[in-house]
Amino acid sequence: MNSVILDTNVFIIGIDDKLIIDKEILIPRPVVDELKHIYDSNRKRIAEIGFDRLDKIIKNYNSRIVGESLNNISGQFIDKYIVDLAKSLEAKLYTYDKAMYLLARSIGVDVEKLDYDVNLDYIYRLFDNKTMSLHIKKDVYRKVGTPGNWVLEKLDVNINIDKLLLDIDMYAREHGLEYDIKDKDMRVIQIGDMRIVISYFPLSEQNEVTIVKATSKLDISQYSIQGLLDRINNANGIVIAGAPGSGKTTFAAALANYYANMKKIVKTVEQPRDMRVDKSITQYSKNLINIERLKDLLLLVRPDYVIFDEIRSEEDFKFYSDMRLAGIGMVGIVHANSAIDAIHRFIGRVELGLLPHVIDTVLFIDKGDIDKILELRLTMKMPTGMKETDLTRPVVEIRDYNKGILLYEIYKFGDEIVLMPVMNDILQKILSKYETRIINGKKYILVNKKEYKRIKRYMAMLQDANIDIMIK
């Protein structure tokens, strides 16, 4: 009697009875173990389908368990074991897996690749050019609009989430894609321009799939704030800050492409790799390599700029700081509700005197555009409000780049690091009332002759802020 071996996915997807009738069915022990592992990894429904088919085959067909349990339950190790088992037992192998099929054929195993329609077209069809993300549980919702201006719509569609999870798995294997994160409770993978995040029960109250797709790829010239190009051409330690969904990553991708077009060597470090950048830019996954090894790699390939998406953990802040102090231009993305909050997250993690060398520029993104540019400088002075000359110390000044206003000072007071707001209310009112312009690197406010008579009394204060007056 001819013998056949079935791969794990055959039990999950199914097989035509005509292919196994009157055959001896050999079930590798690692297949049973892998179904148990899938069940324990909170993909219970998929595992239950596999166990049901396994039970029916054992009851209704001439079958037996062969092989041994394995300590290593990684997919590639199991695949190789099953292929070697099929060869040693001279059995025909049935699989849906393209990689396993190619491996088996290369060593002379009698193998047949079963057909399975592996595509995600039914997901792609739910996106239009305004859809930012899909949220799939029992019901399906999509977020439509632009950063800061969107609505949530409930879609009148039914998606079997168990089939979707299987389709994602099969699509990844068919196309040689790796999960950026592959844990018991969650998975993250990038498929084309879709970032797919899967959370399993009990992490979420039920299995959920969130699919985020970039709605646009912008050029740096499409961002509106005055002085942007002047600043980014001279900055080496940039932090892009903003609330979740504000458009930080879209801007970072535009900035990466801008640097690449300027003939700079640009790399990205992402988790996952979902930035829409030019093909000349290499995208590294932070989750697939030890961060110290990644640091060594980047120092060897000598990029001009590294785009780091995004800075969260202590090791992320250390990575950003070490790379910047090694002389590499860094652009980091940070979740923050304001520009000053982003700077505050570096205080205590970076020595005060080194802070402006690590971060020299903060770009705050709001509703998809740049809301504010802050510049950091180190100087020796008395902090604002102090009178005694012996209180002079190193002070980090934080200024509004376009208006030249001193907004905050950071300095040591005793053993404490103080971040003090210092902007003059009168100066704020003047700058909000009058048009400003940068000419040859000098900042001016534009006033008519009548307004000049009223405002010239504030000349000293304006000069302290490095601002001059121009009569229009």
> Could you tell me the CATH number of the domain that includes residue 169?
3.30.450.90
* pLDDT of amino acid 79: 86
Tokens describing residue 270: 């992402």
Q: Are residues 326 and 415 both part of a single domain?
A: yes
Q: What is the mean pLDDT of residues 158-177?
A: 87
Could you give the CA distance from residue 165 to residue 186 in angstroms, rounded to a whole number?
Answer: 12
* pLDDT of amino acid 133: 92
381-434 pLDDT, tens digit per residue, is 888 777 777 788 999 999 988 877 788 999 998 888 999 887 666 777 787 788
Q: How many domains does the chain have?
A: 4
For residue 141, how many other CB atoms are within 10 A of its CB? 15
What's the chain's average pLDDT?
88
Model pTM greater than 0.85?
Answer: no
435-455 pLDDT, tens digit per residue, is 888 887 778 888 888 888 778
Write phi, then psi, for 297 (nearest 5 degrees).
-60, -45
Residue 429 vs residue 197, higher pLDDT: 197
Among 113, 135, 152, residue at a domain's last position: 113
* pLDDT of amino acid 129: 83
* pLDDT of amino acid 424: 65
State which of 126-130, 292-296, 467-471 shows the largest mean pLDDT: 292-296
**Residue among 239, 214, 225, 197 at smallest CA distance from 147:** 214
Does pLDDT of 1 surpass 60? no
Specify the CATH number for the domain of residue 109.
3.40.50.1010
Q: Are residues 387 and 285 both part of a single domain?
A: yes
Tell me which residue range forms the domain holding 154: 121-213
Q: Are residues 452 and 404 both part of a single domain?
A: no
Strands 186-191 and 194-199: antiparallel
Q: Are residues 341 and 224 both part of a single domain?
A: yes
Q: Are residues 286 and 433 both part of a single domain?
A: no
Could you give the CA distance from residue 300 to residue 213 in angstroms, rounded to a whole number?
Answer: 33
Q: What is the mean pLDDT of residues 212-216?
A: 76
* pLDDT of amino acid 415: 85
Q: Are residues 202 and 224 both part of a single domain?
A: no
Reported as a pLDDT band with limits 50, 70 and 90, residue 215 is low
Mean pLDDT is lowest, of 60-64, 111-115, 405-409, 420-424, for 420-424
Q: Are residues 132 and 238 both part of a single domain?
A: no
Q: Are residues 415 and 442 both part of a single domain?
A: no
**What is the longest distance spanned by two Cα atoms in the chain?**
106
State which of 272-276, 439-443, 462-466 shows the largest mean pLDDT: 272-276
Q: What is the mean pLDDT of residues 258-264?
A: 94
2-22 pLDDT, tens digit per residue, is 899 999 989 999 999 889 888
Q: Are residues 149 and 29 both part of a single domain?
A: no
CA dihedral 96, 80, 172, 271 (to 10 degrees): 170
**104, 80 in Cβ contact below 8 A?**
no
Does pLDDT of 238 surpass 70? yes
Does pLDDT of 223 surpass 60? yes
Strands 369-381 and 361-366: antiparallel
Q: Are residues 312 and 254 both part of a single domain?
A: yes
Among 78, 113, 148, residue at a domain's last position: 113
Among 213, 238, 269, residue at a domain's last position: 213
Residue 344 vs residue 467, higher pLDDT: 344
Q: Are residues 393 and 298 both part of a single domain?
A: yes
* pLDDT of amino acid 251: 92
Specify the CATH number for the domain of residue 317.
3.40.50.300
Contacts of residue 413, defined as CB under 8 A and 6 or more positions apart, other chains included, come to 383
Mean pLDDT is lowest, of 350-354, 360-364, 381-385, for 381-385
State which of 186-200, 223-237, 322-336, 375-389 shows the largest mean pLDDT: 322-336
Could you give the CA distance from residue 349 to residue 345 in angstroms, rounded to a whole number?
Answer: 8
Residue 334 vs residue 178, higher pLDDT: 334
* pLDDT of amino acid 173: 82
Does pLDDT of 74 surpass 80? no
Reported as a pLDDT band with limits 50, 70 and 90, residue 128 is confident
Q: Are residues 317 and 226 both part of a single domain?
A: yes
